Every structure is written in C-alpha cells, then in structure tokens.
Chains A and B, each alone.
Chain A
Amino acid sequence: MTPAVAQPLPEGLPGDRLSRIQIDRSCRQTVVWYMVSAVAWLLAGSLLALLASIKMHTPGFLADADWLTFGRVRPAHLSTMIYGWGSMAGVGVLLWLQARLSRVRLPLPLLLPVTVVIWNLAVLYGTVRILQGASTGIEWLEFPVEVLAFIGFCMAVIIVASVLMFVRRQVKHTYVSQWYLFGAVLWFPFLYILGVVLSEAGDVRGVAKAAANWWFAHNVLGLWFTPIGLATAYYMIPKVIGRPVHSYHLSLLGFWTLAIFYNWAGTHHLIGGPLPAWLVTVGIVGSMMMFIPVITVAVNHHLTMAGNFHHLRTSPTLRFVVVAAMSYTVVSFQGSLTALRAVNEVSHFTHYTIAHAHLGVYAFFTMMMFGAAYYILPRLMNTEWHSARWIRVHFWATSLGMALYWLGLTWAGWRQGEMMNDPNIPFLAIVEYTKPWLHSRSLAGVLMTIGHVSFAWLVWNLVRQRGAALIGPTLLKRRKSA
C-alpha cells in the first residue's frame, strides 16, 4: 500500500517559502494512509449498515449467529463509521489543511504514520469486541475502555503536530479554517477523556450518566466533525472557484459563536427524559442560539458561490462540497426545530431522528470528506483520477441514496410519532406502517454502498498510480494552454 516512489522535490518558490508541491509531498505518507484506512472502514461500516437496515424489516435475516444480531451490528456500524471512517478521514484532511494553511511541511514524519497503524488496530479491536458481545452498552462509547488509551495516544501526537505547524507557520494571517481545525483538535481529546471517565467512574449513575453520555455524543458531532467539515468548506469553496470567501468577518463570527454555543446543547437529546427541566431547557436554548453560526455560515458560503454555480458541472470536489455545505444548513435548521419540546414530543423515539442523524453525518460530513478527497489525493499521489465516469457514479449513487434515506424516514418517522402519541392506535399497526419505509431505507443503503464501492475503486487505482501523471504544483495546470 505504500504509495510513493521517492521523487526529487522540485524547486521551491522564490525566497524561503515552500512550494505547494513540497508541502503536499510531505503529507503523502500520513494523509494517504489515513484516507485509505478511512475508505476501508467506510466499506466495512456499509456492510454492517446494510445488515442493520435489513434486520429492521426482516428480523430473521442472518439472525442465527449471535455476533450478527441487531444489538451488535448496529453499534458496530456506528463505531466503525464514526471512529473508523469519519474520524480517520477527518484527521487526514485536518493534517493536510493545516500543513497547507501554515505553509510548512507536515512534522513528525516517523510518528504520524505510526498513529495510523495504532488507530486502525484500536478500531478493529473495538469492533471485534462489540461483535463478540463485549460492548460497554453506552451509546457512542461502545468500544471497550482500553481503546481510549490508543486513540488518546494518536490524538496526542496529532495535537503536537498541529501545534508544531502553527508555531512554524509562514503566513501572517490565521485563516478561518485554522481556527476550526485547532478547535477540533483540542476539543476532541478532552471530550473523549471526559466522556469515558464520566461513564466508567462508578460514581456517575442514572440520570447524571445519561446527561454526561449525551453531552459527549453531541459534542463529538458539534465540536469534532462539524468544525472539520466547515474548515474544509471554507478552504475548498474559495480555492476551487478561485474567489476569496465573501465575508471574512462573518466567517470569524461563525467560528466564535459555534465555540460558545454548541457545547451547551447536549441535553436536547434527552428532551422528555427524567432530567431536571432546567437542564433540558439549557440545551434547547443552546440549540436556538445555534441559528447564529448556522445562518452566518450559510449566507457566507452562498454569497461566495453566487455567480459560480456553473463550476458544479465541471468540478467533482465542488459538487460534493457544495452538497455538503447546503446539507449543513438543512440539518442544523432541522436540528434546532427538533430541539423544541413541541416537535420532539412527536419525533423522539422514531425514524425521524435517524433521518436527521444521517443528514448530518452523511449528507454533511461524509459528502464533505468525499469532496476533500477528490481534491487532496491526486495532489498527494501526483496522479489524476483514472475515470470521470466512476466519479459521476459515486456522486449520483450517494446523493440519490441519501435523498431517499432522508425523505422516506423523515416522513415515515413523523407519522410514526403522531401515531405513537395516539393511544387508540395499536403498536403493531404502527410497526406495519413503517415497514415499506424501512425497505426504502435498505434500497437507499444499497445505492449509497454502490457509491462507496465506486469511490474505493477510484482510490485504489489512484494509490496504484493508474491515472495520468500530474505535472507542476497545480492540478491540470498543463492543460491551461490547451
């Protein structure tokens, strides 16, 4: 899998500034390994997802082996996707962006590749333990506690690398993406440590434990995935279309309001639960305040794109990134509304929440990582993607699959919630009602998996350098004359 036959580095730019290509080369080993590992976990997670999805409408499917029961494949799906695919792709993109934005080489060239190996082994071990039935039973923290030590070590190395890059940076301005990335890198380890300590220390029980659990899970989304996703959008959109972000002022306001408000919102996952009412109200207020960063980001990205939407036809990166950025707005609006007690009364405990969850982790975050991969990987491998057709298959299969997933379960989930609140409707009638929609989710899952396989095929060929070679620091630059 080792990419790279060492090639002589081209001359740097005038002065002592490193050229873009030198920086990209320095990231090659670490970032490509993170991304390739992430893609492998994406495939594993998709398989587990399909199993979980099919079991919801056909419970007898592969139910004879205990390690394939719903109670195990579902958390295994969540954990492989969140800690394998999402986090590893996120770390790869984060390291590359930081090196580029600071205009320095990626530091720790020996230690960082080691973290890829450790991270992979940790996720593999955790997933096997879940399938063996040794899950901790705490949502989002199903991996055994030992995994913390390994991922914690990797994160410590990643923090050191981030700080080194920042300290050595060759640019005067700290670009808005760097704010987000620094936030993510510093917040996540604290969240993870606190999350594990609070749920494993025997003193925290019952309601307090649930509150700690959801404070953690919510912040993994809001203070880890969200900032990495937004940092990517803030870099890729202006960079691809060649136009500075519309309002830099707004972009900084968006960062600081996210940092201030997001971590208050965790208790909105427990609305209606036996928590002190004020604690839930705090979460709801936090969710409402989120309108500020969300609207700020949405307006800013839209105005940056204004007049440039025609590039969607020609740029794969932009397609994925813009779909992701638009999904961010939608999922956040939906989330803020869902946090209102009147709405949550209906939607909680239904498929509606699952639809929202995937609009966030898939349509926003996963699509953003796909977009970033289309930009980053060719530059690291010095090779062009081998097929435009497979990229189109990837885009349309995942987009249509995601749309079907969200529309079907949002509609069915809402109806399901209304019916559950009506004491005259027998429970089994509601189960029957949802079945066709669960089938449509499985269909959506097949479409999305087709997309993932196409993507994996493209990445595989790229890593084997089976595409046209790129020359010069910019992709496709030589075609300028053509």
Chain B
Amino acid sequence: MFLVYLVIWAFTLLAGASAVWALAWAVQTGQFRDFRAGAASIFDEGEPVGRVTDAFPGEGKHP
C-alpha cells in the first residue's frame, strides 16, 4: 500500500508542479507575447510563407 500511495502522490506532485513551472516559464520568457512571430517561427528564408511544400510525386506544378 505504501508503494501505491508513494507512486500516486509522487506522480500527482510532479505532474502538477511541472505544469505550474512550465506556465510560469512560458509567461516569463514571453511565449504568450508576440503571437505573430510564434506562428511564423516554422518558416524561414529557405521555405518562406507562401511556399507550398508537398505534392504528389511527379505531379507538382508548384514548388
């Protein structure tokens, strides 16, 4: 029974604490500011916004 309680409480505390920590970290490092830059972060000079990056093999007219 001790093991069971230990595991349950350890899990609950770890999971809870890590969520609170992550939220605090996100607020502090500005993850909730500048949403536009966040959304654009998957694009770059090589594959800018506006470039379609997938097509059926041998059929791609675009990129």
Contact = CB atoms under 8 A, between A and B. Distances in A.
Interface of A: 13, 19-20, 101, 171-176, 182, 186-187, 190, 193-194, 197-198, 201, 203-204, 235, 238-245, 247-249, 251-252, 256, 259, 311, 314-318, 374-375, 384-388, 391, 467-468, 473-477, 479-480, 482
A197 B7 CA distance: 8
Contacts of B42: 101, 175, 235, 238-239, 244
Interface of B: 1, 3-4, 7-8, 11, 14-15, 18-19, 22-23, 26, 31-32, 34-63
A476 B55 contact: yes
A318 B54 contact: yes
A356 to B, nearest CB: 27
A186 B21 CA distance: 14
A173 B50 contact: no
A20 B53 CA distance: 13
B52 A315 contact: yes
Given A198-B4, A242-B51, A388 B39 contact: no
Query: Among B11, B48, B49, B52, which residue has the most Cβ atoms of chain A within 10 A?
Result: B52
Contacts of A239: 42, 47, 53
B3 A20 contact: no
Nearest to A240: B54
A242 to B, nearest CB: 5
Given A173-B34, A240-B52, A314-B61, 8 more contacts: A174-B26, A174-B38, A175-B38, A248-B35, A314-B59, A387-B57, A474-B47, A475-B55
Contact of A244 (B40, B44, B47): B40
B7 A311 contact: no
A387 B31 CA distance: 42
A474 B18 contact: no
B35 A316 contact: no
B32 A314 contact: no
Contact of B46 (A176, A314, A317, A473): A473
A391 B4 contact: no
A479 B45 contact: no
21 contacts: A101-B42, A173-B31, A187-B15, A193-B7, A198-B7, A201-B3, A203-B4, A204-B4, A242-B52, A244-B36, A244-B40, A248-B38, A252-B32, A314-B61, A315-B55, A316-B54, A317-B54, A374-B54, A473-B47, A479-B61, A480-B63
B1 to A, nearest CB: 5
Contacts of A388: 56-59
A190 B15 contact: yes
A476 B63 contact: yes
A306 B18 CA distance: 36
B35 to A, nearest CB: 4
A198 B10 CA distance: 13
A240 B62 CA distance: 12
A375 B55 CA distance: 9
A468 B60 CA distance: 13
B49 A194 contact: no
A474 B58 contact: no
B31 to A, nearest CB: 6
B63 A315 contact: no
Nearest to B7: A197
Contact of B39 (A201, A244, A475, A476): A244
B23 to A, nearest CB: 8
Contacts of A174: 26, 31, 38
Contacts of B14: 190
Contacts of B8: 194, 198
Contacts of B1: 201, 203
